[in-house]
Amino acid sequence: MNNIKVLVVDDSVLMRRIISDMINETQGMEVIDTAKNGEELIAKLNNITPDVITLDVEMPKMDGIEVLKKLREKDLNTTVLMLSSLSKKGAEITMNCLELGAFDFISKPSGHISLDITTLKDELIEKIRTAGEKNKNLNLGETGSVRRKGIIRNRRISNDYGAVVIGASTGGPKAIHSIITALPGDIGAPVFVVQHMPEGFTKAFAERLNSNSKLQVVEASHNEEIEKNKVYVAPGGYHMEVDENNRIILNRNPTIWGVRPAVDKLFISASKIYNKKLISIVLTGMGKDGAQGTEAVKAEGGYTISEDKSTCTIYGMPKAAYETGSVDEVLPLHYIPDRLLALLQK
């Protein structure tokens, strides 16, 4: 099998060397070139086409946003993995980059130039491998088929849904944005969202959603009272659950599937409170978080939806949920908002 070809972009010589060494030490991938800024990257793309670009978010001359706009114009078969600082500015630029089509991002743990990046080697390598495989599959046309009417296993539908839970990982920010911003300001239910995202980024994600949505969107707070027509985004680093007193519970219990917040934690908790009045949605993402939660929602009589492969950035979590046999309906992303409204308004 051909190696995944990577182009590393960072304005720090040290960071370029550290990242390149980690990639070149890994079987199945290689760094074919590096660039110190966005302008140099764009120039080099006239002669080479990498499978994956690792792109520093904050750079002089041309930041990540401008680079992605230029890449769109070139229409290359390349996926982009962002490296972002934990600063407020870095988080905001990262959200913009994800909306512009970046595959995913990795947070730099302690500043612009940091040897701590070596602690993120496993995550970096995993995401490069996944991005590279995604890129090759797209080139081969392996995108799945659109199920326009969805796969419906269970037509028994409640007339009084009281809450919605949504879980996602890779590709999730853009998918969640497309659903939440398509909903009206009065849906008669709260919405709880778990997006796999580290601390420091979920607040920017919630703020971006809020500025573009008719519903109020907030990063959830511990012991916050739950209100209808409000979207609660789980903070990075915390599991989010709901309790019988109509409040949100945040905790730092151990990770599940290596993540915190975990979709399963939210889904299982909400299923016990809302029972048959709960709608769950599993969107794009790596791994199988949300599968056990989907089973729990179905066991309590709730309605379960998973995203169709055709619109997933990564068909991992929705596939795992579907394979439990507990998914009521499989839908392409663009059909989910209307379906959700139809269920809530019955």
Q: Is 104 marked active-site?
A: no
List 85, 107, 196, 264, catalytic entry: 196
Q: Is 196 marked active-site?
A: yes
The three-state (H, E, C) secondary structure of the chain, written as one string: CCCEEEEEECCCHHHHHHHHHHHHCCCCEEEEEEECCHHHHHHHCCCCCCCEEEEECCCCCCCHHHHHHHHHHHCCCCEEEEEECCCHHHHHHHHHHHHCCCCEEEECCCCCCCHHHHHHHHHHHHHHHHHHHHHHHHHCCCCCCCCCCCEECCCCCCCCCCEEEEEECCCHHHHHHHHHCCCCCCCCCCEEEEECCCCCCHHHHHHHHHHHCCCEEEECCCCCECCCCEEEECCCCCEEEECCCCEEEEECCCCECCECCCHHHHHHHHHHHHHHHEEEEECCECCCCCHHHHHHHHHCCCEEEEECHHHCCCECHHHHHHCCCCCCEEECHHHHHHHHHHHHCC
List 289, 306, 308, 328, catalytic entry: 289
List 169, 213, 271, 306, catalytic entry: 169
Q: Is 289 marked active-site?
A: yes
Catalytically active residues are 169, 196, 289
